[in-house]
Structure 1
């Protein structure tokens, strides 16, 4: 690093004269050697690549194989329907993800387009891409830094590094300091300046020590580039389910072949039968239904100020049990605010100040007049610390514009980082007042009087100790403390040197970036729901703990750890102790990623929230990254999975609730579809095992899977919210879809549906002995109707339909009616009857199939009623 060497030594190493700068020829050579000063870009996925990524799934592969075999067997209608489902599923995913992965592009935009450099003794403006190591850069207020610099000159230089380090206030820089060699946080490197940060005050000169991908922001870009996308719990479960169903389908096909060989059946008939069972084993509509349910969840969340960039992230929220949150701008307002004042040796809240008291009024007036910030009509400029002083005055109708008109500034001593003081001389009727504000230690040395209860008395050491004690109390609450002293002057011609002598001390003001009011109850709700909130910030340890304690995140300073302490542990060691801490302060971007990965090591599903450039790698490393939409940088938004449009931590909690409900509904849809498919397998397998004629044709199974089942499954996917969902802890991320006896529930209902389908077929063969088609039609309709009625029971495993409410999910009722009507039409319309190879049923047949179809639904409801009464 360059911070541990004197500036002259750095200049010698880089072989550059600060008065002259590099020659154009030397700059050209270095440009060829180090490359352009820009961030490496990652090739973006084309729409075609996005499309291919959507079909890179085991279940999709199985469907493609089924489509190919169906086409080979001249079952073209089956092929078309399967391919249509795959296409719909892929298009939904492409639509949702086409705007993602903008992290590196946003990082590139952060680089300033121009830089002021000194070359061959001439100051000139060049494109930032042409800046090279060794260039001398001129810094002034309002200009972004083009590269990483070692400062060689600084005059009251302050640089806003909030989006980079997470600190609320601009960092004061000093070129003359040489830091000790060691592991020093970026926020403490006061002799360094970094690419894409903003100069807010003063001026300076620096020599470029790193460009492009070698800068600190380049390292962040590199981490974003390397960090792999995480699959969500639902994606992992569906992938596992797809493999299981795939192996099951193959196993069933082999078993049928073996059985059929013993039965002496025709090989072509065996292959058709095996395909029928393979089709029955796989819920073709499942990928599309899951995608659509997630997409509908996304639309609901937009109304709740959450924009989800990737569909599976909706479900991931439901299993989150750790929320790692940035402090500045996320848990806090990112606005420095006066909280307490010390007046007449008493510490009072800003809300309890009495400006009718002359001492209090003088404190406010002095802080506003000795101030270079502006605040007018909602537009604020200047140092955040000084803006906070103006805002305190506005609270009591004291405006700088009015005070400056009444008490014009006639002289000043600007703020100096060595003195840590600022002095102005303002006109008051027949005399002048010199106000001096700044660091309390320096101010006490210059003050020999104190204003107490309207009287000016000697400022004894005892009185100074009292003030220091109050100042320390404010510091213990992580307040940034500023003091004010003054002196009356008869003549404005008084010498500058005497302005900061023999002062009268007035009081103190303490400020902090306060927590958002709505965050504390949200944190309490998180804890109730079994979610652990963790604070991660670039701010100092005491400041971080003060906020964390107020919000209820941490109870003891022992639950806080600094970035330097994190670096002292190996990954393995840190993984073991990470659960003991709730606050991580003064951390680097690398630290944040290490923290997220450590929590993930213990099997947690981790959400990371943030708004700064420094948050981007950890946002991407987390299971779900959440960026702030208002204060968030483009980099953070690009790396995140979800963006909060209102920057409200409470919105995350609402999103978690939505995610939990969506997962519960998706699970209902999956169990419903698999129960129905198992019913198809049972009816076909038993029929073949017992050497019966096939009760269903492949097109019957496809039709039921894709049309009859799909609408109720979609309706279950948007079932009304469970109001008690946040009263339970997050589900285990390793929990199976079939946990809580769902596997047994699925099996029993699959057997029920398969049983009534086969019963209808056998009854049809007995009633209509001359017509296999008539019997298959009865089985086809019973299979369809029994699944439609069964969907009503799927709304709740515990509560009967009467308790849940028949009309609370009107979409499900409409889906059932629609499914019955479509089924009725394909039976009675001759064209469709020929396509599906079905028989037109009589009124007696329809009454018979409805009664048989109601059996699974009625048995489920009776069981729930018995269980409820017990």
Structure 2
């Protein structure tokens, strides 16, 4: 029981150190001994278990029965082929499933919460899974507790523990010992913090006393051990579609078998053909293909700085039509930057700064010396406003460290929010300069002179009005304005009260957190894609509108609303007017939820960004919650669907584009597979109805199904993104996969593939009337090769193959060539030709079957010419 021990004793018992923490070597040793700090989930399936799960299917069982029957009646080759097809199919499934699992595991690791610990005397952030017993853990509002901790230090610390206590009110925590020898309920252990709970207020330091399965939550891990359902809405739809197709395929096969029996055909052959057709008609590889396309897409997004935490978000991204974005750090660079300055009666751009000018040099020096921040070689500390002032000096080679050495600070009056001023006294040779910086109105009150062109003049009312006009001009551009005044004094022993009197006004500097350069293009791209960008910020309305104008989000201040104005409307009233606004300024987290709900009430798919603890409700309320990876709290990341590792708005737009392309690729694979399967049904069913000889043997159907359902379909799933995808409106999430032209294309291409297969068979019978095997071989080759060529036309619904780039999808080209090579090998090698009961085609035959196989591809390309959007 750690709660009844003094914190010093706990630290000693765990061989740790409050100041330095553990050493890296000791932490590594403890990690190896006790294992990762995570809850043990269900054991992963072995490769063998994965393999058997692939053949645990009713249709596979039917195939196995068919193989046994074939073997029993002496059709050994058919039996072997069926078993080979089953094995290869299962193997491909195993590879796809394990790939998807690895990709999802990598994704899970990317989104693991971080912990702040002391190691080797330094404070560092590590994955929470690497926390070990004895680690000194720093906690503050917004952080998840990474392990069970004994609190050592606390300041207004409150932790939300409802998962353990059921209490909705956060528990107050202190480091005081609990003098009880008996067990104390978790809710009353005020000096303990438990894994997976959330710090909602204050800060503290704790020592890890239990990790992983030894934690309180570890003791109830079985309750959390349910396997998470990562199935996306699309996958669920496809599973239902698969069942429907399964029933339909079995129905067609039964009808075909019954008809063939009335026609007096061979029972065993037709039994095998019916089973093969039923198996081929069901795209059993589709769920695996969808899973792997989603997983690979998610991996691509990680490289683009977007971590998808929940797979369904990938589908939702393609439907987003409103992006609500924070301003600071997301639309802007999150760094105050001086843009303009004022000396000698002129407002100038910083790019044109002339340090040779005496007033300008004094302004830069004074702003750097009257300053408590640091900024040197990219390492910065202090207030962002003060850092911006120092960076002006860095730009013109006036380094603050050098200034401090040359002009030592001998006295100061710290900044005060009531005075809105800061003053320092710095040594200049044998004299001293008093520098005062602050708000323009405060500086004007204490200045009675002004420095103009190296002359000190009276600071008349007219001159003060000129300075005020310059300040207002900067403010209208949303710049934050700071003024500088000075005065020389003979010695440092001037009374404090006299330092901020009778100053000489020098000039002004105006700064802003500027927009990211790349964001304007991303917002323009979003507009083309039918996506509205809404700026939501805690900043003032004028500043927000200035940035919004520059980025093309809003045109004028009438499109902006402040949080106080939002409060004046009821939810219903606000919903009616929300579409009139593009900027919401001075908003609270509660306002964000109201804004999201108002936009969603119109059927919009809304993305919302956030980084704070209080942003969690709005992130959850949005269709896609986006957390900041750099500045975001663990709470925000936990509530979000997507985490930006670079906190950049452009990344959201890229993720939307990637989401659209992923969905389109999945759609291509689905339509391709279903068209091919329909083609096989058409070819066989029509031939049986017309009482023709079977154009295909059972092993032909299974083989074609194998080579088209695997590599070409998967290659379409990873097709390079369509460059024009962001010129189309967002996808309706309720829209069917077969809406628009897709349903028509599916049926049309199914009939085309079936018709070309039958044509090849009839042509074979005509050219070689004495050889049914010759005709069947031609139809067999056409069925497989036409599907391979047809995959090329599936790359884009409206653009021709030559527009999208013939060799852009190298995987698809490789799949096509590999498929044709396999087909050639099967009919040309005597051993395989005998097994597949095919005829070795001559050059003329190959020319004919290639031409016939190109028909579906050519027709699709011609249709695109006449139906361009």
> Is the pair's TM-score, using the shorter chain for normalization, greater than 0.5?
yes
Residues 42, 104 of structure 1: 8 Å contact kept: no
Q: Secondary structure at the match of 1:80?
A: helix
TM-score by length of 1: 0.72
Change (3 A) 1:468 1:855: closer
Q: CA deviation at 1:610?
A: 5.7
Paired residue secondary structure (1:99):
helix
Task: Tell me what 2:60 maps to.
Answer: 67
Query: Is 2:102 aligned against 1:105?
Result: no
- How far 1:766 sits from its partner (Å)? 7.8
Q: Cα–Cα, structure 1 residues 128 and 556, in superposed 2: closer, same or farther, change >3 Å?
A: farther
How far the C-alpha of 1:61 sits from its partner, in A, is 10
Does the aligned pair in 2 maintain the 1:257–1:274 contact within 8 Å?
yes
CA contact (8 A) 1:368 1:390 kept: yes
Over aligned residues, Cα RMSD in angstroms? 5.0
| Deviation at residue 571 of structure 1 after TM alignment | 6.1
Question: What SS does structure 1 have at the residue aligned with 2:114?
Answer: helix
Match of 1:536 in 2: 536
* Aligned pair partner of 2:93 in 86, 89, 96: 86
**3-state DSSP of counterpart to 1:98:** helix
User: Aligned ranges for residues 457-536 of structure 1 at < 5 Å?
Assistant: 457-460=457-460, 463-536=463-536
Q: What residue is the counterpart of 2:441 in the other structure?
A: 441
**Once the 2 structures are TM-superposed, how far is the Cα of residue 743 of structure 1 from its aligned partner?**
1.9
Deviation digits for residues 460-479 of structure 1 (CA, Å, limit 9, x no counterpart):
55554554454344334333
Q: Distance in 1 between matches of 2:438 and 2:838?
A: 91
Deviation at 1:632, TM superposition (A): 6.0
The answer on whether the counterparts of 2:626 and 2:642 sit within 8 Å (CA) in structure 1 is yes
Corresponding position of 2:164: none
8 Å contact from structure 1 (residues 131, 146) kept in 2: no
| The 10-residue stretch of structure 1 (622-631 or 366-375) with the greater mean CA deviation from structure 2 | 622-631
Counterpart of 2:143? Answer: none
Give the direction of change, closer, same or farther, for the CA distance of 1:254–1:666 in structure 2 (3 Å limit): closer
- Aligned mate of 1:251, from 242, 248, 253: 248
Which SS does the other structure have where 1:329 is aligned? Answer: coil
Please state whether the residue corresponding to 2:534 is helix, strand or coil: strand
Partners of 1:317 and 1:116 lie apart in 2 by 33
CA offset at residue 433 of structure 1? 1.6
Are 2:108 and 2:309, in contact at CA under 8 Å, matched by a contact in 1?
Answer: no
Aligned to 1:397: 397
1:348-401 CA-to-partner distances (Å, cap 9, x unmatched) read 333344333333322222211111222333322222221111111222222212
Distance 1:148 1:472 in 2: 46
**TM-superposed deviation, 1:765:** 6.9
Return closer, same or farther for 1:798/1:556 CA change in 2, 3 Å cut-off: closer
Shift of 1:753: 1.3
Shift of 1:333: 1.4
Count of residues in Structure 1 that have an aligned counterpart in Structure 2: 751
Separation in 2, partners of 1:326, 1:551: 13
Q: Is 1:686–2:693 an aligned residue pair?
A: no
Give the corresponding residue for 1:816. Answer: 816
- CA-to-aligned-CA distance 1:13-33 (integer Å, 9 cap, x gap): xxxxxxxxxx9999xxxxxxx
Conserved in 2, the CA contact under 8 Å of 1:291 and 1:311?
A: no
Shift of 1:819: 1.2
Pairwise CA distance, 1:250: 0.5
How does 1:611-630 map onto structure 2 within 5 Å? 623-624=623-624
> What secondary structure, in the 3-state scheme, does the structure 1 residue paired with 2:335 have?
coil
Deviations 1:211-233 (A, max 9, x none): 98575479xxxxxx9xx99999x
Q: Is the 8 A contact 1:148 1:209 kept in 2?
A: no
Cα distance, 1:274 vs structure 2: 5.1
CA contact (8 A) 1:416 1:422 kept: yes
Distance across 2 between alignment mates of 1:840 and 1:751: 27
Aligned pairs for 1:375-774 within 5 A: 375-460=375-460, 463-563=463-563, 575-589=575-589, 591-592=591-592, 595-596=595-596, 598-609=598-609, 623-624=623-624, 648-654=648-654, 656-690=656-690, 694-708=694-708, 710-717=710-717, 722-761=722-761
**Cα deviations by residue, 1:254-284 (Å, 9 ceiling, x for unpaired):** 3554675577669998875554343233223
1:515 aligned counterpart, secondary structure: coil
Structure 1: distance between partners of 2:229 and 2:437: 51
Q: Is the 8 A contact 1:753 1:786 kept in 2?
A: yes
1:487 aligned counterpart, secondary structure: strand
By relative contact order (CA 8 Å, sep 6+), the higher-ranking structure is 1
Map of 1:324 onto structure 2: 324
Distance 1:116 1:87 in 2: 43
Q: Is contact 1:604-1:733 (8 Å) kept?
A: no
Greater shift in the superposed pair: 614-623 or 357-366: 614-623
- Residue in 2 aligned with 1:183? none
Q: CA shift at 1:791, angstroms?
A: 3.1
Find the counterpart in structure 1 of residue 25 from structure 2.
Answer: none
CA shift for structure 1 position 537: 2.8
Match of 1:95 in 2: 102
Of 237, 242, 245, 1:240 maps to 237
SS class of match (2:517):
coil
Report how far residue 832 of structure 1 moved: 3.8
TM superposition shift of 1:114:
6.2
Deviates more, 1:640-649 or 1:598-607: 640-649
Q: How does 1:11-410 map to 2 (within 5 A)?
A: 48=44, 64-74=57-67, 76-101=83-108, 105-106=113-114, 113=136, 129-130=149-150, 137=155, 147=158, 216=200, 236-237=233-234, 239-254=236-251, 256-257=253-254, 260=257, 275-291=275-291, 293=293, 317-410=317-410
**C-alpha distance in structure 2 between counterparts of 1:62 and 1:468, whole Å:** 81
What is the CA distance between 1:534 and its match in structure 2? 2.1
Aligned partners of 1:96 and 1:309 also within 8 Å = no
Following TM superposition, by how much is the alpha carbon of 1:709 offset from its aligned partner in structure 2, in angstroms? 5.0
Task: Label 1:783 to 1:611 Cα distance change in 2 as closer, same or farther (>3 A).
Answer: same
Query: What is the Cα deviation at residue 457 of structure 1?
Result: 4.0
The verdict on how the C-alpha distance between 1:597 and 1:286 changes in structure 2, with shifts beyond 3 A counting, is farther
1:780 counterpart = 2:780: yes
Deviates more, 1:553-562 or 1:469-478: 469-478
Partner of 2:103, secondary structure, is helix
Helix, strand or coil for the counterpart of 1:413?
strand
1:605 Cα deviation from its structure 2 partner: 4.1
Determine the C-alpha separation between the residues in 2 that align with 1:617 and 1:414: 39
- Aligned equivalents of 1:594, 1:49: Cα separation in 2: 45
Structure 1 gaps of 5+ residues are: 1-22, 27-40, 118-126, 138-144, 150-192, 196-207, 219-224
Q: What is the deviation of 1:525?
A: 2.8
